[in-house]
Structure 1
Amino acid sequence: MTSINVKLLYHYVLTNFFNLCLFPLTAFPAGKASQLTTNDLHHLYSYLHHNLITVTLLFAFTVFGSILYIVTRPKPVYLVDYSCYLPPRHLSCGISRVMEIFYEIRKSDPSREVPFDDPSSLEFLRKIQERSGLGDETYGPQGLVHDMPLRMNFAAAREETEQVINGALEKLFENTKVNPREIGILVVNSSMFNPTPSLSAMVVNTFKLRSNIKSFSLGGMGCSAGIIAIDLAKDLLHVHKNTYALVVSTENITHSTYTGDNRSMMVSNCLFRMGGAAILLSNKAGDRRRSKYKLAHTVRTHTGADDQSFRCVRQEDDDRGKIGVCLSKDITAVAGKTVTKNIATLGPLVLPLSEKFLYVVSLMAKKLFKNKIKHTYVPDFKLAIDHFCIHAGGRAVIDVLEKNLALSPVDVEASRSTLHRFGNTSSSSIWYELAYIEAKGRMKKGNKVWQIAIGSGFKCNSAVWVALCNVKPSVNSPWEHCIDRYPVEINYGSSKSETRAQNGRS
């Protein structure tokens, strides 16, 4: 307890160091000013009167500089509102149903070398399911969860994506009362499913967006593509004034389901679930009052120049020509390296001076005493960030970032709860997590929230938002009917994921 108090004192003193030094420096001139006589003021007036040109030039330069700064600085980007798609209840997909789907997929392939009821293969899938951190209320697409026989064709994939995107956008437009024709920028990201016409064209057609809209479809960019889409929309909003930007993040399960026997490719089937999010951004000054957040920073890190990083998550054919996403054994090391680089870039932007100083000192000490100091100081991001939205890519992803950032269970509660309730919804998972924090009533005015996601390429991307008010959950939040049951405690590896509500943590 004493060490904590000492650190807080150190943090306070160093963070307010300049203010503490400035007080005596301003007190001295103020004291002298109070001693000025009428004669002194007369001399000062006379000096300024005889140097009127100099005073005028200084005043004009100050005014011109202020106007130039106001005109050229980037306009703030506001997050007006967002919506997360909540599938209908009949598409609920628990562990037992997922196992039935695996069984049916294997049974429908007469050419497979491994028997469809091979116990070792099915047991592997079951163990992955039970240890993944996913619960029994996640959702899957109509063609896999509800239809018999299973539908995994292109038409079923298109139906899934249309259902998710249109559902999220309808809710967003209903909540914000924004006319779709007011949208000037549209960015849609979906990694695995990219039909022609594009998904952005589908949105334009469905909601009758205007003909001069700046539209983009991002494909093949993995689970961190949601923040890439936000970053692109931000840059466009800095160029195109007084408009809205619409960002849609989703993934397609029907099209990306692997039907072969390669175990490194089968893992993704166990983690990914149906979901998507729509986000409305604005650079209009008048939207500040009704907006939830202001975008503070976006940081993108790409280590794809390294062959190991580039190949660690790769879509390819297996030995029997079945397409799937192969996860390399190097993925943990690659992810750790990429996340570290992203954090090192973001740290100077958000951390207080006290943490920056400790980090630099530890870095210098490590270089001077290589054999004695193994690890550099890990900055305490909780001094700068109030809430964390770590991509719910899987239990291991959350565990690693929780450990490396020295976070508490409450800090990763939104990520674990989202993984349990909705599964890995790819690039949209960070929005379900933000909705969780809002539903718990934890987002207060001035709070900073950090969204961090990793994905193929290999990439790690971050976005930091500042709450503009005490944020309340949006109407029809995905957590509206279940937030009281969370957080939950998960018994990994049991025959069935048993959960119980933890009292006192919400």
Structure 2
Amino acid sequence: MNQTMHKASPISLTMSELTTLLSSSGFIFEIFISLLVLHLIYQRLRRRVKVYLLDFTCYRAPDSNRLPMSTLLETIYLANQIDQESIDFQARILERSWLSNQTSIPPSLTEIPLKKSLTSVQTETMTTIFTSVDDLLKKNKISPRSIDILITNCSLHAPTPSLSAMVINKFHMRSNIKSFNLSGMGCAAGILSVSLANDLVKVHRGSLALIVSTEALNTHWYIGKDRSMLLTNCLFRMGAAAVLMSSNDQDRGNAKYELLHVVRTNKAKDDRAYQCIYQDTDSELKQGVSITKDVISVAGDVLKMNLSTLGPLVLPYLELLQYVICKIYKPSSTYTPNFKKAFEHFCIHTGGRAVIQAMEMNLNLKKEDIEPSKMTLHRFGNTSSSSVWYALSYLEAKRRVKRGDKVLQIAFGSGFKCNSAVWRCIREVEPDTDNKWLDFIESYPVDVPDSISIRPC
């Protein structure tokens, strides 16, 4: 049987067919380029936005605002508004507070009679906020109009217009600036502001955020007899901090730190936690902030909740494995992971001697680990939401922060809240002339006795 073999004919294209093919190829090429561009955009979008801490500065009151403990007790005595028993109680608290005679309060609180007024508290907040912001912007040669996001936080003073509006007015910032004012958020509001700024600069890429943290003492200085409210007079002092954060990659070369994690824990749903720090009036209708005896145990509970979230993010795998094994085979064990394997430095909120000691015990820290916070409490007192920045400033003044080091900032506040922030140092940090510790840092650390004697009035 004969089979006919057919060979394929060579391809021949007419001019019109060639033109059609080239046209379709161009269309395919355009599709390819479009897909490539979309892929590049997607890769850029999915890339983690890095957030940097460019710089920060802390407020240091003039020496004329200094409040020796004996002066405080004398002022209270001469004001003749509370009984001797309440004065003696404050003296005992001050003797064991770790505060020095260098801490400061607004001048209005040392006047007799005590001057508590809206004018006085406005002067106080304008002094701390404006000085901090002005120092920070001048030091970094940044125009106020370069600020894209402004966040202010002050728990006990919420005027109208707000503190953020006050800053915008003073420094003539842009009309389209994104401004936020946080009030009533307690001493943890400084890190809460960092969390808010972190979210905002990630959404608005390449933006520059300014955070201002302070507390107002004047209108909420307590002059009654309730001991839980008298504690605030013994611990809180004048202070503020201004912080610059950016998500612009071009700022990395000038930045000090990169933000790695922020963890926020809020236990306000629990009545005991909600009421342990509470603004109220006493039996004589005098206003104050009550700090109950539950605050330390509540702080310990919320700290554990916060660290249970933070731990898996920062602890080495072997340390996590050891912790898990311990919990499986010894459920009743109180084993605490070694957070010193995750961090080189700790900046603990200077809520008071009891708070710092509780953190030392709960985290198994050494004396050198709590030194920045202990010295901050001794020199500046409890400056509320800005205290963690004073502690970090201490570390910088001591030249202890090296490139690659990780810093944990952790603060507690009413609500009850525990907030933590993790920073990684990305360049060698040398103290500058604006560091408020610098002119006396050589005398620190100092020996802080557990108790001192104050001559009674």
Normalised to the residue count of structure 2, the TM-score between the two structures is: 0.89
- Partners of 2:196 and 2:209 in 1: CA distance: 10
1:430 to 369, 380, 388: 388
2:58 paired with 1:84 = yes
Q: Percent identical across equivalent pairs? A: 47
Residues 22-61 of structure 1 aligned to structure 2 (within 5 Å): none
Q: Which residue of 2 aligns with 1:125?
A: 90
Change (3 A) 1:85 1:342: same
Residues 143-158 of structure 1 aligned to structure 2 (within 5 Å): 143-145=108-110, 147-158=111-122
Q: Which amino acid aligns with 2:146?
A: E
Give the drift of 1:365: 1.6
Q: Which amino acid aligns with 2:158?
A: N
SS in 1 for 2:427: coil
Render the CA deviation track for 1:262-307: whole Å, top value 9, x for unaligned.
Answer: 0111011100000000001111111100111110100000011111
Q: Which amino acid aligns with 1:265?
A: M
2:59 paired with 1:101 = no
Render the CA deviation track for 1:378-407: whole Å, top value 9, x for unaligned.
Answer: 111111100000000000000000011011
The answer on whether the counterparts of 2:187 and 2:414 sit within 8 Å (CA) in structure 1 is: yes
Give the drift of 1:71: 2.5
Q: Which residue of 1 aligns with 2:138?
A: 174
SS in 1 for 2:400: coil
2:335 paired with 1:415 = no
- Partners of 2:447 and 2:227 in 1: CA distance: 28
Give the drift of 1:377: 2.1
Give the drift of 1:63: 10
Q: Which residue of 2 aligns with 1:385?
A: 343
2:229 paired with 1:255 = no
Residues 89-488 of structure 1 aligned to structure 2 (within 5 Å): 89-105=63-79, 107=80, 109=81, 116=82, 118-145=83-110, 147-367=111-331, 374-488=332-446
User: Which blocks of at least 5 consecutive residues in structure 1 are unaligned?
Assistant: 1-59, 110-115, 368-373, 498-506
The answer on whether the counterparts of 1:175 and 1:474 sit within 8 Å (CA) in structure 2 is: no
The answer on whether the counterparts of 2:75 and 2:112 sit within 8 Å (CA) in structure 1 is: no
Q: Which amino acid aligns with 2:374?
A: R
1:74 to 44, 48, 67: 48
The answer on whether the counterparts of 2:91 and 2:454 sit within 8 Å (CA) in structure 1 is: no
Q: Which residue of 2 aligns with 1:370?
A: none
- Partners of 2:439 and 2:253 in 1: CA distance: 28
- Partners of 1:65 and 1:460 in 2: CA distance: 40
Q: Which residue of 2 aligns with 1:3?
A: none
Give the drift of 1:334: 1.0
The answer on whether the counterparts of 1:362 and 1:376 sit within 8 Å (CA) in structure 2 is: no
- What's the Cα RMSD here? 1.8
- Partners of 2:358 and 2:284 in 1: CA distance: 34
Q: Which amino acid aligns with 2:244?
A: L
SS in 1 for 2:330: helix
| Pairs aligned (count) | 422
- Partners of 2:185 and 2:75 in 1: CA distance: 27
- Partners of 1:291 and 1:431 in 2: CA distance: 16
Q: Which amino acid aligns with 1:216?
A: F
- Please identify the structure whose Cα radius of gyration is greater: 2
Give the drift of 1:122: 1.5
The answer on whether the counterparts of 1:223 and 1:454 sit within 8 Å (CA) in structure 2 is: yes
- Partners of 2:283 and 2:85 in 1: CA distance: 19
Render the CA deviation track for 1:125-174: whole Å, top value 9, x for unaligned.
Answer: 111011011001001102113x4543211100100000000010110011
The answer on whether the counterparts of 1:359 and 1:377 sit within 8 Å (CA) in structure 2 is: yes
Give the drift of 1:120: 2.6
Change (3 A) 1:235 1:331: same
Render the CA deviation track for 1:422-463: whole Å, top value 9, x for unaligned.
Answer: 000000000000000000000000000000000110000000
Higher deviation after alignment, 134-143 or 473-482: 473-482
Change (3 A) 1:132 1:62: farther
- Partners of 2:62 and 2:161 in 1: CA distance: 27
User: Which blocks of at least 5 consecutive residues in structure 2 are unaligned?
Assistant: 1-33
- Partners of 2:35 and 2:74 in 1: CA distance: 74
- Partners of 1:390 and 1:66 in 2: CA distance: 42
- Partners of 1:299 and 1:474 in 2: CA distance: 30
- Partners of 1:340 and 1:242 in 2: CA distance: 35
Question: Greater relative contact order: 1 or 2 (C-alpha under 8 angstroms, separation 6 or more)?
Answer: 2
Change (3 A) 1:61 1:352: farther
Normalised to the residue count of structure 1, the TM-score between the two structures is: 0.81
Q: Which amino acid aligns with 1:313?
A: I
